Amino acid sequence: MLFSSPEFIFLFLPVVTLVTWALARQSDLAAKIFLIFASVVFYTISGFLDVVVLAVSLAANFALAMAIERGRHAKLYLIVGIVFDVAILGYFKYFDFLTDTVNTAFGREVSHGEFRHLPLAISFFTFQQIAFLIDVHRGRIRRPNLGNYVFFLFFFPHLIAGPITSYLPISRQVDLKRVFTPRVRNICFGLALFSVGLAKKVLIADPLGQYVKPFFAEPEALGFWTAWLSALGYSFQIYFDFSGYSDMAIGLGMLFNIRLPLNFASPYKSRSIQEFWRRWHITLSNWLRDYIYIPLGGNRHGSVRTYANLVATMLIGGIWHGAGWGFVVWGLVHGLGLAANRFYARMGMPRLPRAVAWPLTFLFVTFAWILFRSATLGDAIVHLEAMVDPAGIFTDSYRPFLTVANLNRMIALVVVAGLVAFLAPPAALIAGVTILPNRRAAMRAALWCGLIFGLALLAFTGQTSTNEFIYFRF
């Protein structure tokens, strides 16, 4: 079920919210159990196998966490748990990729069969469970509560595509008395943030996705202008799609007084690749830092080791995103970019002026997105070559991809998306205005959020809301 679907907005969400609020007035436990049940129903819609995989993973990880906490052979149980989680992720997500790679490299015919279903959100809940085991082993989590752990994993706002959360902050909130009792300020903020996220998804990301698709389907037909237009289109599509989901997730959490972590902070305003990763998919960046980069040694063992750790961390981040060489190279490119950024700073070189640093960072990210979006690494190379081939400036044609009317709409949408991404304040800041003491400013912000919510609802008639979020199958 999509957050941006009429079924969710007009049926699932109102029923779940009202029932939870009603139960919360009588019993915190009843409200928590109902929210868990509703979240299981929400996830079951994606497929019964998905629920089975998540339930098995949950049970195994909690049992291993209990064994780790007892102290005897704790490190062994931690290793078993991490191997178990990675094995499940590898089987469902990477088995086909690995066998195809082996077949190509060695001329073998290792068969992987026709079945390889990818459970929804498997990458997200795998990372969350690995972090849970490590935190128990480090002593950060003591005596984890099974009910809170189930809630932490299944809570439907963040279940599908994050933000990546930690057990401890969620558990502490769930343990508060009357936590699910409705609070006007949180409801106002949550609905405003959900509206902004919905507008990002339905009014910008979905139309851009439809326009961009034919360009990436036929990379060999790209010229200079069409290659750049599609690259920019996808850069804005993935930003508004994923940040829109995160805004909606955080807003939904606030309806139940559960604070989920910020995941985006206007990343396309960044002036370095390091700053970009502090603003883009913040919870993934924090996870990679805390559970990969620092355990590898971080910056504690000299410059060369630091650069190697940065590259290795981002390489793992690329592999986490998907089973394909494009994701691997995308992660490698960002790792090298972070290493170069750090080297430049350590050499004491003058800081680049904003007018130079900002476009350089955005162009770097945009070029890298081609690796992320293209069906194959070969297609990505063709696309990138077209972007730097001046011969295509005078011979390029949009006709293999779009009609004149759709071309004009796409260009206009790319311009609007760019203005919003580069100039508009973060969504959380916009939503925060609705709960300011200044009633006039709060009412004005609420009206604007209501307006864009209405425009997003009107877009349902165009069936744009049926498009899945990009990160749903990562």
Catalytic residues, by residue number, are 321
Residue recorded with tokens 């990763």: 277
Q: How far apart are CA 117 and CA 426, in angstroms?
A: 36
Number of other residues whose CB lies within 10 A of the CB of residue 262: 16
Q: Output DSSP code: residue 351.
A: P
Number of other residues whose CB lies within 10 A of the CB of residue 462: 12
Q: Output DSSP code: residue 11.
A: I
* CA 360 distance to own-chain centroid: 24
Helices and strands in the chain, H and E counts: 23, 0
Q: Residue 34 phi/psi, 5° resolution? A: -65, -40
Whether 199 and 455 have beta carbons less than 8 Å apart is answered as yes
Q: What is the largest CA-CA distance in the chain?
A: 71
Length of the chain: 474
Can you say whether residue 385 is alpha, beta or left, with left for phi > 0 and alpha for psi between -120 and 50 degrees?
alpha
Whether 203 and 409 have beta carbons less than 8 Å apart is answered as no
Q: Residue 72 phi/psi, 5° resolution? A: -75, 120
H or E element at residue 334:
helix 325-346
Q: Residue 70 phi/psi, 5° resolution? A: -65, -20
Q: How far apart are CA 250 and CA 234, in angstroms?
A: 24
Pure H helices in 424-438:
427-433
* CA 469 distance to own-chain centroid: 9
* Structure-token pair, residue 313: 């961390």
